[in-house]
Structure 1
Amino acid sequence: MMKFLSFLLLGFAFLLTGCSEDANVIEVEHPEKVTVAFFEALYNEKNIEKAASACSPALARIIRHYRSPQAVARHMFNMSYDKVEIKPDDSGVKVREQFKNKAIITVYFDGYYQENRIKDVKRLSLIQQDNKWFIDKILKDPF
């Protein structure tokens, strides 16, 4: 009975380990959803590894260099939020149909930092590799 219980606990621990690794990876096949998931991981979940998983290898290396989501937010995006709502531009343009393996996504932010409401806009360039979208570049401020 003790061996069975040990085996059961070991199996359960193995399943938990497998699930936790998947929780740190963003795999979505739509560039708008990848972009929103990236910023959700960075600002609301405070998970730098999950955010980096949505990026090209070069950009992921830069993001990991900062070691904290707060540092990435401050240095790369010049935005800090305690909690933020993130929405992609939904102007009705089918980006994926216009550009087969590249997309430029505009994202709107509406959130709070230290009880001050802050709104912002960012644009990102994404590339598609093996039917998966990755953030490749952070574009200049559109305004």
Structure 2
Amino acid sequence: MRQYLAILLIPLLLLLSACGNNEDEISEIENPEKVAVAFFEALYNEKNAKKAASVCSPRLARIVMHYKSPSAIARHLFNMSYDNVEIRPDDSGVKVREQFKDAAVITVYFDGYYQNDRIKEVKRLSLVQINDKWVIDKILKDPF
């Protein structure tokens, strides 16, 4: 009887473990623009601090996780609060990114609402490539 139970449970456990997806990680990490947008999407629209920290360098991830809640991270690190926001990278065609061999500077545009007020904002991030994955290394000063 125990053999039959083991024969049934082992495939069931394998099936269940294969179905689990990790919602606290950003999977598209080959393109620095996508990483930057996914970081802010996780922070502002999904309200998931762990997911946002998953694409940060170890130093920046510690700082991000220090604030614990997405609203505290947004308020203290970026001085921006949104109820809902549209996020897009700079795609002007002139200088989409300043990319060198394993580093890039990405400009991200925000257009959203906070307490029924429309707020437009611009932020710049420095990304580096670690083990063929783009990670956010620094939050750069406001370009304007």
Q: Deviations over 1:43-76 (max 9, x none)?
A: 0001101100110000000000000100000000
For residue 26 of structure 1, give the secondary structure of its aligned residue in structure 2: coil
Q: Does 1:70 align with 2:78?
A: no
**Kept in 1: contact 2:108–2:124 (CA 8 A):** yes
Report 1:90-101 matches (<5 A): 90-92=91-93, 93=95, 95=97, 98-101=99-102
- What is aligned with 2:24? 24
Partner of 2:18: 15
Alpha carbons of structure 1 residues 95 and 119: separation in structure 2 relative to 1, 3 Å: closer
Any gaps of 5 or more consecutive residues in structure 1? none
1:104-131 Cα offsets, whole Å, 9 max, x none, are 1000000111111111000010001121
Larger Rg: 2
TM-score scaled by structure 2? Answer: 0.86
Shift of 1:7: 5.3
Deviates more, 1:87-96 or 1:99-108: 87-96
In structure 2, what is the Cα distance between the partners aligned to 1:39 and 1:13?
31
Aligned partner of residue 143 in structure 2, secondary structure? coil
Distance change in 2, residues 1:83/1:8 (3 Å): farther
TM-score of the two chains, using structure 1 as the length reference: 0.87
Return the structure number with greater helix share: 1
Q: Report SS of the residue matched to 1:103.
A: strand
Shift of 1:31: 0.5
Checking the alignment, whether the CA contact within 8 Å between 2:37 and 2:88 is kept in structure 1 is: yes
Q: Distance in 2 between matches of 1:128 and 1:35?
A: 13
Alignment correspondent of 1:121: 122
Code of the residue aligned with 1:90 in structure 2: it is: D
Equivalent position amino acid for 1:100 in 2:
K
The Cα RMSD (Å) is: 2.0
Is 1:37 matched with 2:38?
Answer: yes
Aligned residues: 139
Structure 2: give runs of 5+ residues left out of the alignment.
none
- The answer (yes or no) to whether the contact 2:127–2:134 under 8 Å persists in 1 is yes
